[in-house]
Structure 1
Amino acid sequence: MSAQEIDIVPVSGKRELNEFVDLAYRLNEADQNWVPPLRAEVFELLTPGKNPFHEHARMQLFLARRGGKVVGRISAHIDELALAQPPEQGMGPGTGNWGLLEAEDEAVTHALIARAEDWLREQGMTRVLAPISLSIWEEPGLLVHGHDHPPMVMMGHHLPQYQGWIESAGYETAKRLLTFELPVAREFPPLIQRIVASGEKNKSIVVREADPKEFARDAAIIIDILNDAWSGNWGFVPFTEAEKAYGAKKLKPLIKPGANMIAELDGEPVAFMMALPDVNAAIKPMKGRLFPFNWIKLLWWLRNPRADFRVPLMGVKRRLQNSRLASQIAFMMIEYIRRYAVSAHDAKRGEIGWVLEDNKGMIAIADAIDSKMNREYRIYSKAL
């Protein structure tokens, strides 16, 4: 059918919001590798007053209808903190976003993107980076490689046809985001073991577990290192204090002390690495619903998950980046987390990412531990 028969309407009430959320479950139901998110989490993501992203963002959700049937959805949003970033780092003045795209076909996709672009122009934007759903820290990019296996915790999964539909709407690749997987049950290569052993002899280096009894303190340390380490990265947007508290609260049930490391150099925290058990494996059969009994299953799983682990975040303070010491500390943290995940949780796989395509240091570390790229996401750009 033609685009003229597609009606794009803004989400303005509870009924439309429910339709917006429901559509993803219908369109992805046949994809065995899609992990249905918990519905309560999706509503929280989209609700001002619950998700602190909305404290510094403007957002409009849209639905596409054809013949009265919902056939697509999209969000258009502007992050005020992203507008304040240097343009050479990807964001900057005039840059808006769209995301949460789901559509039955190419015509619907084009109609939704066009409406999101119109809204961004109306808000004064001159450029779009997409898809970003909703913050750069949540699920940025479109999956273009790795559709043959489910995503791990906090990673997106999209129908393969979306790539062609988006690119045919005039979008070009702005940045590639990569993830790397490795079998963790086997030891790292001898060279890496020697580097770790050498670091353990250096009395200036202390790598410790995050302390659950001092969760707030260590969460603040990690965020402060992250803001420093990533501040020059493409796409960086700083966390607000509200987002720090919110993120710590959301992640606390997944935090396992032996999988989260803080490295100190002469007593100063200079690096961290966070690994999370893959809760997606637990929630996948739940089809988005915790009630009536799935919440019991999830609580039981969280107590002692037998799970693979993903490293979503790591950082080394900028003054140490690109140094041999930084690489050594990174290898030490990875090795300690690997040992813990295997011994305590029977992990078989690890995943690191996402990693910016031009982050040569992190890609070199991934290569050194014999990991392989398993997923690629793309963020696209277009002038408005």
Structure 2
Amino acid sequence: MTVEVIRADSDRSRREFIRFPRVVYRDDPDWVPPLEADELALVGGRHPFWEHGQVVPFLALADGRPVGRVAAIRNDLHNRYHGRRDGFFGFFEAVDSAEVARALLGAVEVQAREWGFDTVYGPVSPSMNDLVGWVVEGTGMPTFLMPYNPPYYPRLAEACGYVKAMDLYAYLASRADLENPRWGRMVQAAERLAERSRIRLRRVDMARLEAEIRAFALDVYPAAWGQNWGFQPITEAELKHMARSLRPVLVPDLILFAEKVPENPDDGPPEVVGVLIASPDYNPVLKRLNGRLTPWGLLRFIWEVKIRRSLKRTRVIAFGMKPAYQQTGVAVLMVHRVVQNALRLGFEEMEVSWVLETNRAMRNIVENFGLRPYRTYRIFVRKLGPDGS
């Protein structure tokens, strides 16, 4: 097989780029097609990521037919923050062929060198705040906003000289886990600690959603995660995009803010010190939309989610506390409150994902309830040699 790699920079080739995953997952019942309009915006420059980055899409062809795709990704915000010269590959999909993988990742590496980079990480599509990693342990349909891949992708990366950079864990709690009697003792102790620290919990204010996301993205998020491996700051434009895109699917009772109340009301408003964001797992419904949000698809989505209430799993997407408040018991109270709200709303399971393998604090909170990772995602890395190797 002779493989040719081209840049997908025409309307036709971009459409082929967006549609190609249907070849790979044609007979896979667990694949959830991404919304094609969202992916096209990311690849085509109509997304806030492009204010500080670039996505260069490639298609691999054999006998004139697409057999794979990938994007070379430049992220200047990441490199400025970490003082590095990293490139990324993302949006990788391919048939099970080492030759195709070498051609695709080779194109990414050539582009990365042209940008002056010395390392390539992936899959990152397009930043650490989006879809990252490949499944290396675990099976089944992915949870909302988590990646999915055939089991042979990690093998293809390794055949191209890529090695493990970092593992990310996903934990799944059943209803029995969520109703664990240990909550009672832990919550009582946590309530006493939080009361001494003048901490209160409240749900998200949807009337002020953009301001709420700003408090999370520009204050709590960098304070809580700023020292974590791969941290990616969120820009003002990205938070506004986040507010617009998430508003229709947020469930206020699954989003909590922890606030430090000043002793004197004249000292100003409460300080947001922690945020927990959970969401229903919309993937069973999104799968039926087949990548397109048509008027009929939107009606079906509303019927399944709002009327039938057919969704039974939630996912904790983000959870962080400012360092000064991480030992106040507030984390336990926030998790307990969201768990109680989820059970009241009829949910039966809760996924916590993703958690860095090096994030011992978060892992301890989850694993203290007897949970162990049920899926592992991996980010790979390859150092680029000065001789083009």
Q: Same fold (TM over 0.5)?
A: yes
Matched, 1:145 2:137: yes
Alignment partners' CA distance in 2, 1:93 and 1:358: 20
Cα deviation, residue 186, structure 1? 5.3
Alignment partners' CA distance in 2, 1:197 and 1:187: 17
Alignment partners' CA distance in 2, 1:152 and 1:351: 8
Any conservation in 2 of the 1:278–1:310 contact (CA below 8 Å)? yes
Percent identity, please.
30
Q: TM-score under structure 1 normalisation?
A: 0.92
Change (3 A) 1:185 1:293: farther
Q: How does 1:1-384 map to 2 (within 5 A)?
A: 1=1, 5-48=2-45, 50-86=46-82, 92-104=83-95, 105-146=97-138, 148-184=139-175, 187-201=178-192, 202-203=194-195, 204-223=198-217, 224-266=219-261, 267-291=270-294, 293-303=296-306, 305-307=309-311, 308-321=313-326, 323=327, 325=328, 328-344=329-345, 346-384=346-384
Deviations 1:185-219 (A, max 9, x none): 65443333222123334432211111222222222
> Tell me, what secondary structure is at the counterpart of 1:293?
helix
Any conservation in 1 of the 2:43–2:57 contact (CA below 8 Å)? no
Alignment partners' CA distance in 1, 2:190 and 2:155: 47
Alignment partners' CA distance in 2, 1:186 and 1:352: 13
Equivalent residue number for residue 89 of structure 1: none
Cα deviation, residue 28, structure 1? 1.0
Alignment partners' CA distance in 2, 1:61 and 1:230: 30
Cα deviation, residue 273, structure 1? 0.4
Alignment partners' CA distance in 2, 1:62 and 1:52: 21
Alignment partners' CA distance in 2, 1:252 and 1:290: 16
Q: TM-score under structure 2 normalisation?
A: 0.91
Can you give the 5+ residue segments of structure 1 that lack an aligned partner in the other structure? 87-91
Cα deviation, residue 292, structure 1? 5.4
Any conservation in 2 of the 1:192–1:369 contact (CA below 8 Å)? no
Any conservation in 1 of the 2:210–2:239 contact (CA below 8 Å)? no
Alignment partners' CA distance in 1, 2:204 and 2:290: 32
Any conservation in 2 of the 1:182–1:370 contact (CA below 8 Å)? no
Range 191-200 or range 98-107, more displaced? 191-200
Deviations 1:211-245 (A, max 9, x none): 22222222222222112211111001111100011
> Tell me, what secondary structure is at the counterpart of 1:310?
strand
Count of matched residue pairs: 369
Measured on the aligned residues, the alpha-carbon RMSD in Å equals: 1.6
Cα deviation, residue 378, structure 1? 0.8
